[in-house]
Structure 1
Amino acid sequence: MSIIGVSSESLSIEEFIKGIEDLGCTVIGNPYSLRIKTKTGWIEFRIVDVIGFIDSIGKILAYKYSSPVLEGPIIHGEVSAGLWEEAVRIFYPDGKHEDVAIMIHDSFINAKIPTKNVDGLHGEIFICGRSFKLPLNTEDLEVIAALGNEALEILDRAILAYGLENLISNKALDERTKKGEFKVEEFDFNSGFVMVKGSEGSFIISIVDYVVKLIIDGNIDKAYNVYEKLNEGKREEIVKILKDELTIYEKTGRRREYSNISAFMQKISK
């Protein structure tokens, strides 16, 4: 199954669907929205699932409606290698196009992880034969813990590879922090990781992810104390992530997170 989406707010979804079907494709299901980070900034697309040959249909529709149009999925990498990206191709009215990766498929941990280039797309992870939507909520974590050590080890590997914020929802993290279920045990500044231990098991996350999480949650002083001990490379990595997050939070109106990051950036600039 393929997808096609249009960004134009002046174009009705009914007219867009008719344009797709006039080109020989069948639209199925209901429309939905995704925000994609393009070379011109974040663009919201109204998406439909389609059956049929879609190669370069986006180019035709972009010219017809004078609006960016996306089509996909496009595979980046070798599926047989077990690690590949799912992308969309965005066509512009002037005939140019760009590919944007929106999902990482990792068969080693049996998961699909949305990239930072997309908003509104959920990932998925399979643990001990069960499917969980990402990011995980509190109930998911309780189920995984009940599945035993093997399930927790799979989750640990996923967190180590893709970061805490991509696997566990902020709400679930906040709830567990309030309950005292997460406790930092040990920093390893040489390897760049933190051991986190809780009542339901332990896992390892990168110090970069740990510091970013502290900042977003408003633990500025605690984050700064760790930040000061990091090498220049790790500091630059944190700053780059924070700048990207600032843009997202500003455009999505998440004032608390935006304010927390701004406060930290101001602190390190002194």
Structure 2
Amino acid sequence: MPSAMVRTVELFEDPNVPLAQLSEFYKVEGSPHTYLMFVTTIDGVAVPLESGQRGGSEIALRHLKNNPIAAGGLADNRALQYGWATADAVLGGAGILRDNPAATWYPRDKDLQDLLRGRKPVRAVVTGSGEVDLRHPVFNPQKGQWKPVVFTTRKGEGKLKNQAKRLKANRDNPLQPPETYAVGDTSVDLAKAVGILKRDYRTKLLDIQGGPILAGGAVKAMLVDEVRLTVSPQIMGDLNSEGRRRPGFVTGIHFGLEDSPLAELEALGVSGSHIFLRYLMNYRN
């Protein structure tokens, strides 16, 4: 049997990666297609777990403006925005909203915004507890740029309904109440959530943004076709300043040696000291 070959090896000479180069590197063959997108340190840390740090930005070194080793962080940001611009739906955990009050998964770069012209993608949030602020910008697109959706449990659905009533009573009403689905009793059934996105919203390309618990659940449920992983040139160690364990990009799951998913390298990119990897998942059970 011939050995598998990497389809693409790409050098991103300009950290502000041109749209044509992003389109070629992240070309998807086949539909529907679901991918995870994460950035980790060399030692596999995905979340710093420090107060005031949002995670991906610091992991990718985007906070270091004048350090040449950090230049690839801009390329990572371009890749991240490209995913938001091309996916039919983005699925993220409620923790991202709590950590980032401005998160909407909407591209900031004009050339990537143009890819959304004439389209209205879904922005879906997973919250088992229902503890999200319905005033958050992701639930209130100012110009109707996206469709907000919430996947929760039956208990979480009750909390969200009560919050909506309070906001209405206080005349602090969300501009566009999100479509809410209760898909589970004690935890969100991710397979049902993804099924709804594909069936009811005609999602062909799904971008799962995490966090690590959501990502782990999606991998465990064998919902992920591809992992898009940026390796950032720093080492953080596995403990934060309080001695708590820092997570990798999947957490809360277990596989054994006999059933752990394998991943075939599809493409490899380099921007300065940052490495961009595309792996196609191969489930063994």
TM-score range, shorter chain: under 0.3
> TM-score, normalized by length of structure 2?
0.26
Q: Which has the higher helix share?
A: 1
Structure scoring higher RCO (CA < 8 A, sep ≥ 6) equals: 2
Higher-Rg structure is: 1
